[in-house]
Amino acid sequence: MTTSTTSRPLLEVKGLSKRFGGLQAVSGLDLHVARDEVVGLIGPNGAGKSTAFNLISGTLIPTAGQVVLEGADITGKAPSAVVRRGLARTFQSTSVYQGATVAQNLLRGALSTLPGSVWTHTVTTRARKAALQRVAREVDEILELSGLGPYRDVAAGGLAYGHQKLLGVAIGFATNPKILLLDEPAAGLNGEECAELGRLLQRLRTHRGISVLFVEHHMAVVMELCHRIYVLVQGRKIAEGTPQEIQSNPAVIEAYLGAPDYAHA
Amino acid sequence: MDMSKAVLPSIPPGQTESQSLIRGAAAPQPLGVVGLVGLAGLVCIPFLLNQAFTYHLAIFICINTIVVTSLSVLARAGQISLCHGALAGIGAYASVFCVKGLGLPFAVGIVAAMAAAGLAAYLLGRIVLRLQGVYFVLVTFAFGELLRLVLLEFGDVTGGANGITNIPPAAIAGYVFLDKPAFYALAAVIAIAVLAFFRGFYASPAGEAVDAVGENPALAESSGIGVRRTQLFAFTLASVFAGLGGALLAHYVGYISPESFNMHLSVALIIMMVVGGRRYLLGGLVGALVMTPLPEFFRGAVESQDILYGVALILMLRFLPQGLAGMRLPRKWRKQP
């Protein structure tokens, strides 16, 4: 649809499929995310949204299909390698380094942006010192943006649930991604926290133009933030479009609420 | 899958002293006057007592400190190895081969020991670090046994079950560390240097990566810190210092055999690490200080020694999973909001 009109999309997923034994969890999924775009992936429980995330981020290896980031094929690459190419993901449950401070959590997120590898990181060179100072500044910036600044030196395990979820998103952002995949960032958050999350995403995007692809059940969040939405049911894409189109799409309504009685009549 | 957690219950680490800036961006904090004086006093005790037996024990404490401190790098990266003793053995044999076999200086032997042990761990890790938890433990156990059998089998090089005797003592620039006080001074200096190295290491980005992988592998992997790559690095680094410890042992005792580096050593090292505190820089030192002299007190009860160790380990894991070095921590933790 929009593929031909704009330049090449940032992330392209073609014919992605995953089979677990007899279960076809995801079949022939096509999707794309353009630069600076926020795209939602919704669907009832068990639709294969999280599996699709795991396939795209490299946690699972697809049975068939291709994941292309900026024109380069990243299918089946290790998650850590995919992150270094600019695609980061967060987890459905809270995932932080419980014993480390908030600042340290963000530092660990930013480690992959340092030049060299763990084999050379023991040695402190002048260049590395400069890089570390840059990382320290970025950490401060993210603390500021995310509103986690006051908790800087608090152990992440001691944060409230909502703050831990924010920190999870902030760690993903600290890897300096071009596209961030968020797995149910609003799950378990109350209304105020949801609004705060939405504002955080907007701030992060205006601060550094990144694309976002996210799975979410919280429809208010999805409809407010997304430019486009894909709907997945039983591993298949049944609809895509703008929030308005999706809200009035009969196939989507049927998938979520069941067919109205008169449809059978 | 993650059986290492079952073997050793996970503990909330970190959060000790590093409240300063971000650790990786800052130099490690100074030890403080109290710490330095305490350490200096500790090092001086054998000189004050001036008994051959105290020197002997102190030398073993130094060597154990080096090896256990290195083992905890791997533990902090989330893996437990049952072949750390065997890797120390590789270092010992490599050094003895260089110094006794080829007539090279002691310093060259030490470097060769560290290189040989590191290389062995790197090659082994390349293959087996795709395994996690208890599966990795089992393979390292098998590797230790394999190495022991190889040492026994190739008797013309390794001396077989008879081992190698008359190993030349340590010597640097013409000075021979023949008597115990001299060798103790050498071992103490090396042990302190190793502790200083790891102090810097844990404050570097590499140390941060090791801790990240150990604490939450899934999150580390998905934020760009390769779990396998980091664990391979930790395994290699740990082994380099195990090789150093093994070489020191060989040149101190003057005799090595395959049985010097069998599974019992590997298990003893793990016990020291756990008792001392595997998440703390000084855990290795504390573990070695407590556990090295212990067998001397149980000399009269050799049969029940292992039982006492087992009971001590279980009690330790039940009531003090962070080890002795973490004893002060709980009070601090309660202050956290």
Phi-psi region at B28: left, alpha or beta (left = phi > 0; alpha = psi -120 to 50): beta
Question: How many whole angstroms separate alpha carbon A192 and alpha carbon A177?
Answer: 27
Q: Is B22 on the interface with A (CB under 8 A)?
A: yes
Q: What is the DSSP letter of B130?
A: T
Q: Is A242 on the interface with B (CB under 8 A)?
A: no
**Which of A59, A90, A139 is nearest residue B22 as measured by Cβ atoms?**
A139
Q: How far is CA B313 from the centre of its chain?
A: 18
pLDDT tens per residue, chain B (337 residues)? 343 333 433 334 433 333 333 444 444 555 677 778 888 888 888 888 888 899 999 999 999 999 999 999 999 999 999 999 999 999 999 999 999 989 899 999 999 999 999 999 999 999 999 888 889 999 999 999 999 999 998 888 888 888 898 888 888 888 888 889 999 999 999 999 999 999 989 988 999 999 999 999 999 999 999 999 999 999 999 999 999 999 999 999 999 999 999 888 999 899 899 888 888 888 899 999 988 888 777 777 777 777 877 787 788 778 887 778 776 544 445 444 3
Place of tokens 């030890």: B31
Question: How many whole angstroms separate alpha carbon B240 and alpha carbon A262?
Answer: 75
SS3 label, residue B128: helix
Question: How many whole angstroms separate alpha carbon A7 and alpha carbon A28?
Answer: 23
Question: How many whole angstroms separate alpha carbon B80 and alpha carbon B287?
Answer: 16
Q: Read off the tokens for B72.
A: 């905890």
Question: How many whole angstroms separate alpha carbon A169 and alpha carbon A90?
Answer: 6
Average pLDDT of the segment spanning A168-177: 92
Let me know how long chain A is: 265
Q: Is A79 on the interface with B (CB under 8 A)?
A: yes
pLDDT tier for residue A201 given thresholds of 50, 70 and 90: confident
ipTM: 0.87
Given a contact cutoff of 8 angstroms between Cβ atoms, the answer to whether B14 and A156 are in contact is no
> What pTM value is reported for the model?
0.86
Backbone angles phi, psi at B27, to 5 degrees: -70, 155
What confidence tens digit (pLDDT) does each residue in A57-96 have? 998 999 999 999 998 899 989 999 999 999 999 988 778 9
Instruction: Give alpha helix (H) positions in chain B.
Output: 4-7, 33-49, 52-76, 84-96, 106-128, 133-153, 155-158, 180-203, 205-215, 217-222, 227-253, 263-276, 283-291, 294-297, 305-319, 329-335
What pLDDT, on the 0 to 100 scale, is given for residue B23? 44
The answer to whether the CB atoms of A154 and B218 lie below 8 A apart is no
Buried (b) or exposed (e) across A46-74, using 16+ Cβ within 10 A?
ebbbbbbbbbbbbbbebeebebbbbeeeb
Greater model confidence, A6 or A203: A203
The answer to whether the CB atoms of A135 and B204 lie below 8 A apart is no
Tell me which chain A residues have a C-beta less than 8 angstroms from the C-beta of B219.
Answer: 91, 95-97, 171
pLDDT tier for residue A264 given thresholds of 50, 70 and 90: low
The answer to whether the CB atoms of A97 and B226 lie below 8 A apart is no
What pLDDT, on the 0 to 100 scale, is given for residue A186? 84
pLDDT tier for residue A252 given thresholds of 50, 70 and 90: confident
Question: How many whole angstroms separate alpha carbon A69 and alpha carbon A9?
Answer: 8
Most A CBs within 10 Å, among B10, B17, B223, to test the A interface: B223
pLDDT surpassing 90 at residue A50: no
What pLDDT, on the 0 to 100 scale, is given for residue B19? 36
Q: Read off the tokens for A78.
A: 């290790």
Taking CB atoms and an 8 Å cut-off, how many pairs form between chains A and B?
Answer: 142
What pLDDT, on the 0 to 100 scale, is given for residue A261? 62
Candidates B1, B7, B2, B8; CA nearest to B277 is: B8
Average pLDDT of the segment spanning A19-28: 88
Which chain A residue lies closest to B197 (C-alpha atoms)?
Answer: A122
Candidates A211, A215, A163; CA nearest to A184 is: A215
Q: Read off the tokens for B120.
A: 């062995």
The answer to whether the CB atoms of A100 and B15 lie below 8 A apart is yes
β partners of residue A19: A24
What pLDDT, on the 0 to 100 scale, is given for residue A248? 84
Alpha-carbon separation of residue A61 from A230, A233, B65, B217, B314 (angstroms): 22, 21, 43, 18, 41
pLDDT tier for residue A259 given thresholds of 50, 70 and 90: low
Q: Which residues contact B123 (CB under 8 A, 6 or more apart)?
A: none
Given a contact cutoff of 8 angstroms between Cβ atoms, the answer to whether B166 and B251 are in contact is no
User: A-contacting residues of B 42-61, CB under 8 Å?
Assistant: none
Given a contact cutoff of 8 angstroms between Cβ atoms, the answer to whether A225 and A201 are in contact is yes
What confidence tens digit (pLDDT) does each residue in B81-124 have? 999 999 999 999 999 999 998 989 999 999 999 999 999 999 99
Average pLDDT of the segment spanning A145-157: 90
Q: Mean pLDDT over all residues of chain A?
A: 86
